[in-house]
Structure 1
Amino acid sequence: MKAKFKIVLLLIFLQITACQNKSKTPEFKQNVTKALKALDSSSAENDEKEKIIDTLYNHLLKHKNDSVNRNLYFKIASKYYGIDKYDKFLTVVKKVHYLSVKDKDDAQVAKSLYYFGDYYDAKSQLDSAFNYYSQSQKVYSQVKDTLNIGRTKLYKAGILYDAGIFSESEIQAVDALRLLVKTKNTRLVYECYILIALSLKELNNAAESLKYFDLALNQLEKLERENYPKDKIEKSRISCFNNIGRVYEKQKKYQEAIRLYNKGLKTKDIKNNYPKSYAMLLDNLAYSKMKSGDFKEVKKLLFESLKIRDSLDIAVGIVSSKINLGQYYLYKNDKTQALAYLKEGLLLSQEIKSSPFTIESLKLLMENDSKNKNYYNKEYFKINDSLQEVEQITRNKFARIAYETDLVEEKNSVLIKRDGYIITLTSLIILLFFVFFIMYRLKSKNRELVFIHEQQEANEKIYQLMLKHQSETEQARNDERNRIAMELHDGIVNSVFTTRFNLIQLDPNQIEKKDQLIKELEKTENEIRRVSHDLTQNQLFEDKSFPEIITNLVESQQNKYNTKFDVSVDKYIDWCTVSSTNRIHIYRIIQEALQNINKYAKADRCYIMLLKTADKITIRIWDNGVGFNVEKAKKGLGLKNIKERSNSLQGEMKITSEKGKGTTIEVIF
């Protein structure tokens, strides 16, 4: 496998060497990328990998400063970081930072700053790491890179957690989460949930901590659907189960903790694939079983965990195992063994500077080693006071770093604000001008609408007066007809009837003359009756005034499209049965429709019909104009008025229209 790896890289180096003086060719980037991928998939020792990365870096130094080559610097730096060569990692980051600043590439300047943060984080120089992450965040904010603003906030939250400032860590992680959920970066959202959950655990908020661990487990399921590397998902899930178990431990719900640890241990081939996690779960499982009073296999679990941690040289894990073994022997009343393991744990925790384990072991020794109780008591309070002092100093230091970073940002923003004032003032003037213009237009429009409304009211009054006058005229005409009919009937008919009666009484010898006169009088009588009947029946119900008004309205229409208007009024409509108010509504419906046609229809022909069907009257207005979208136009004032008048008639309005195919409006009442 190693021989094959060397042959592949040798070929790549030959390709790189062949084009190392041709900085403009894309082959260089492709070959470096191939070499880096080969490193990822290789099983070579770190020393061999380091030589390859050194060669790639030296070749890259000979090429020009552009964004493509700077990205290669970042990739090479990441490879150094992956094999724990932090000093060489720092050298490459310094180089790419210098080149990014020189080329004024803000995005890559920001990236190099958070790489500096990674370096100091790896070196446990938390204040420096926090400082560089803060600087990186500010630059990313300027270029509005939401993903990386969230990423740097998350890293800052991690630094605060490592420093033991848990409340600030939670706040930063929540801020990061708000940004990262928008980017849909599932892995970073998962890390936010984990960090919030861990901070809440340390703040003794168990319920909220468990909620965020559940959210983290859901994110792992999303990562599976996104084909994220399976081994990383398994490792993260084991870590989640372990951390949830620790929350239950804090609550003294040891059975729940045991259930979670066993769940983690059921991971397929965990012992071989994730020995560090396996040892951790064994140690925690043994502790919870011991605390719950179940000592079965506790000793076996603790020694197996310690053996694995010894073989992997996991110092923190070894300390935890030794302290737990000390507690186990205390439960078993074997103080000699217990104190021996606790002392070993104390010495190792002091050596690796693990304050939590140092305090835990001192507390146990103080409670159980009566001979040296005063010494351990003194050491316990000494280190506890020291930790509180360090925590306060650290908290102040991070606050100062944040303030100084903000101060630099504020100085930069002063220049931006100064330029912004001119833009803001200009924009304000334009906005004010626009507002005044809109107000003027609205005022003019309002005056126009008021004038139209007043004109409509005046027209309404004139029309009502006209109808009243016509009604009075018609009534006078009817009265006159009735008077004449009455006179004909009561005067002439009676007179003729009397004459005819007298003639009947004449001398019978004048038969011929008498018959002639009788027939003549009968003829006259019948004629007068016919005239009287016509006057009182047919002519009284004949009303041509309203149809004439409609006809005059339609025939008076003119527009710029030269629309030809026609009107037809059904002669069988009995207008006497239609009230004056309803006639006004009919008139206004036709008038409104004609106005819309003149304005918008662009029609060649328009036809207005008033039809009688059974006991209903139909108003139909048709044009062959451009048509319109009925749904959108329903909100228009004209159609709204027609609709309201249709409702007043207790009728039904129907509109049929289609673009390019004309319009038909029907009102049936």
Structure 2
Amino acid sequence: MSTYYSTHGRAFGYALFLFLNLASLPLTAQRAPMDPDFEKHLNQALNDSLSLEVRKKHLTFYYNLVKEIQDDSLKYERISEIVEIASNLKDSVYFHNISNVGHKLALSINKPSFVGDSHWNYAAYYLNEKEYERSYDHYHHAYKLFIEANNDYYAGKMLYNMAYISSKTYDYTGAEILLFRSIKLFEQTGSTLQRYRSFNLLGTIADDMEEFEKGLSYYTTAANLIKELDKWEYNRLQNLNNLGVRLIKMKQFDEALSYFNEALSFPEILRSSPALLAKLLDNRAYCLISLGKHENVVSSMLKAIAIRDSIDDTSGRVISRLRFANYYGKIGDSAQAIVYAKHARELASENNLKRDVLHSLEFLAVYDRKNAVSYLERHIALNKKINAEDRNLRNKFTAIQYETETYIRKNERLLKQKLQLLLISLVSIAILLLIYLNTRQRAKNKQLLLERQEQQYNEDMYLMALAQKSNLEKGRAEERKRISQELHDGIISRLFALRFKWQTIKLSGEAIMLEQHRHFLNLLEELETDIRNLSHEFRNMLYMEDKNFLNGIKTLIKEKSEIGNFTFRFDYEQAEDWENIPFITKINVQRFFEEVLQNVIKHAQATEVTVSIYRDMKVLIFKITDNGKGFSQSQLKKGIGIKNLENRSSKLKGNLEVQSTLNVGTVICLCIPINN
């Protein structure tokens, strides 16, 4: 059974590539000749129904066009596709000429992915030629380059193909190690198909080592991945074939037959997979022959060999002829058995299938008794040669694997160092960033502190000016009080005494002089009255200044009512308490009333306004109520006026409440906490 899949080559979807890329060729191939048949020539090169010479001719035409492309990267990609096509034209000279050009171009570009791709082309070619040592070496180089290019998917495919070659040389342990490494990479890249193929190959290797339970475990793991694949129906049939072949190796032909029959019950799927159909037909016939059921097996075997001949399945063609040799040997037709065995040996020799040559020699030694000794001698000699070659290859593969492991450890160490360096760099950047942010924040805090100090200084200066003004006013009041007292207690008393004494003097004389005397006495009384009135006015002024806060509020309301054409009522309690509040509070409260009354005039259209000032425990309450048009609370927009009120409330550490009802009115209340 062959579980090898053509992952060493790339899919030949060139028709789609042509459609997407040929249109851009004139832009990149600046000197390329404009041939209208360009696309036709490349399609002909891909047409495997044509002769090799005709296909090569068309491919050469396309290659000559590609050489004119100026962009080296695009040129290499096109040449790499030409190399893939050339590897199937069975012309080693032509292949090497093209691939050498591509390899040199990849080296000149110095891009790991391109150089790795060129090694991949060589590896695929040598694998088809069964030159396992050279193929393995190129896959190894490609693997390292794809690792360097951080392309884990292609690196995993290189490991898979190296594992396949190891299994062909019976280095099963080495193959398993490589496959587990490839599976790890495929898990990282999320490639379910490649994981499926890797577990299938692990199952085949386990069967070849006769570890059948282990093989079943790998096949089961592969089967669990099938439904995640795009072509899961085909892969399910492939898995059934693998399970059947496993049972053949265990000599359980009845159980194996059930798997092949189940797979063959899907003819529509197998119609597009002739290679798998040929395998199933041939394997089922082999089971029937092994069970002694020779009826109706020839037709299946003939169909299988016809399919394999038509698709040029070299290994399958050899296996089909060996199966025919086995069939004719079972039914006693030695002559036909010898014919098919010799034909199988010829095909195997032509295609360097040495293990199949050994099998054909075994058949010939059994059925051609006259030449049995000669066949056995050839078998022994070839077997020694193959074992020596395989041993030599295994030693080389072991050395390469050791080199690979050393390379991996080196990469892991470098990656660890890079991660450490990156971590140190990130930590350093974070520390520097924190230092920068801390420095910037400290500078901001310092700036804010300076601004706050400046603001405090300005406020202190303002308060000082207010205090000076207050002291000045207080001095004036004291002076007025002193003058009033001086007038009342000094001058008026003396004038009164003078007038009283003057009235008590008995005067006599002419009537005119007495009249004049009385006139001066009246003038003196009037002067006394004027001075007393002036003294009382001074006292009244002092009284008014003592009540300046409430009077100022009342005056403000009166002025605003005249402007806003509304009536007002001013209610307050305990007038003597209001003069004890701080002067700065009085100023802000007065500004609060100005702002609110101005809003009433501008927006409320009120006819009545009530201003209430009272104290509730340790809270001063200032309330303004109007019967204006009001507004909806949800439509309240915080304009400059509202913001100013909130700012004043915040400065006073107070609380501002605004309540309004449409067509009813508005109540604005400022509550300020105070300390006794």
Give 1:174's aligned residue. Answer: 180
Name the CA shift for 1:41/1:311 in 2 (closer, same or farther; >3 Å). Answer: closer
Worse overlay, 152-161 or 258-267: 258-267
**Are residue 359 (structure 1) and residue 358 (structure 2) matched?**
yes
One-letter code aligned to 1:125: E
In 1, distance between residues paired with 2:29 and 2:275?
Answer: 47
Give 1:158's aligned residue. Answer: 164
Give 1:385's aligned residue. Answer: 384
Map Cα deviations across residues 242-288 of structure 1 (whole Å, 9 max, x no partner).
Answer: 33221110011112221222233233357764444333322221111
Give 1:667's aligned residue. Answer: none
In 2, distance between residues paired with 1:179 and 1:315?
Answer: 32
Give 2:146's aligned residue. Answer: 140
In 2, distance between residues paired with 1:270 and 1:238?
Answer: 9
CA positional deviation for 1:404:
5.8
**For 1:154, what is the secondary structure of its paired residue?**
helix
1:115 to 98, 109, 121: 121
For 1:95-134, what aligned pairs fall within 5 Å after superposition?
95-134=101-140
In 1, distance between residues paired with 2:425 and 2:18?
Answer: 63
In 1, distance between residues paired with 2:352 and 2:125?
Answer: 20
In 2, distance between residues paired with 1:332 and 1:10?
Answer: 55
For 1:260-409, what aligned pairs fall within 5 Å after superposition?
260-269=259-268, 273-310=272-309, 314-346=313-345, 348-367=347-366, 370-403=369-402
CA positional deviation for 1:39:
7.3
In 1, distance between residues paired with 2:284 and 2:366?
Answer: 24
Name the CA shift for 1:116/1:42 in 2 (closer, same or farther; >3 Å). Answer: closer
In 2, distance between residues paired with 1:121 and 1:190?
Answer: 22
Name the CA shift for 1:69/1:218 in 2 (closer, same or farther; >3 Å). Answer: farther
**For 2:110, what is the secondary structure of its paired residue?**
coil
1:22 to 8, 30, 33: 30
| TM-score, with length taken from structure 2 | 0.52
In 2, distance between residues paired with 1:324 and 1:166?
Answer: 26
Contact 1:270 1:278 in 2 (8 A): no
Contact 1:349 1:357 in 2 (8 A): yes
Contact 1:16 1:32 in 2 (8 A): no
Give 2:214's aligned residue. Answer: 208
In 2, distance between residues paired with 1:34 and 1:341?
Answer: 42
In 2, distance between residues paired with 1:15 and 1:425?
Answer: 47
For 1:581-660, what aligned pairs fall within 5 Å after superposition?
none
Name the CA shift for 1:148/1:315 in 2 (closer, same or farther; >3 Å). Answer: closer
Give 2:203's aligned residue. Answer: 197
Map Cα deviations across residues 565-585 of structure 1 (whole Å, 9 max, x no partner).
Answer: xx99xxxxxxxxxxxxxxxxx
User: RMSD of aligned C-alpha atoms?
Assistant: 5.0
Contact 1:9 1:38 in 2 (8 A): no
Contact 1:173 1:192 in 2 (8 A): yes
The total of aligned residue pairs comes to: 425
Contact 1:309 1:317 in 2 (8 A): yes
One-letter code aligned to 1:134: H
Q: Percent identity?
A: 23
CA positional deviation for 1:129:
1.5
In 1, distance between residues paired with 2:162 and 2:108?
Answer: 27
One-letter code aligned to 1:223: L
One-letter code aligned to 1:117: A
Name the CA shift for 1:270/1:140 in 2 (closer, same or farther; >3 Å). Answer: closer
In 2, distance between residues paired with 1:333 and 1:420?
Answer: 71
Contact 2:318 2:347 in 1 (8 A): yes
CA positional deviation for 1:130:
1.2
CA positional deviation for 1:183:
0.8
Contact 2:237 2:263 in 1 (8 A): yes
Map Cα deviations across residues 25-75 of structure 1 (whole Å, 9 max, x no partner).
Answer: 9x99xx999986897799877655544443333223223244344333333
Name the CA shift for 1:192/1:12 in 2 (closer, same or farther; >3 Å). Answer: closer
**Are residue 77 (structure 1) and residue 77 (structure 2) matched?**
no
One-letter code aligned to 1:266: S
Give 1:630's aligned residue. Answer: none
CA positional deviation for 1:400:
3.3
Q: Which runs of 5+ in 1 are unaligned?
A: 1-7, 438-566, 569-603, 606-622, 624-669
Name the CA shift for 1:80/1:219 in 2 (closer, same or farther; >3 Å). Answer: farther
Map Cα deviations across residues 473-508 of structure 1 (whole Å, 9 max, x no partner).
Answer: xxxxxxxxxxxxxxxxxxxxxxxxxxxxxxxxxxxx
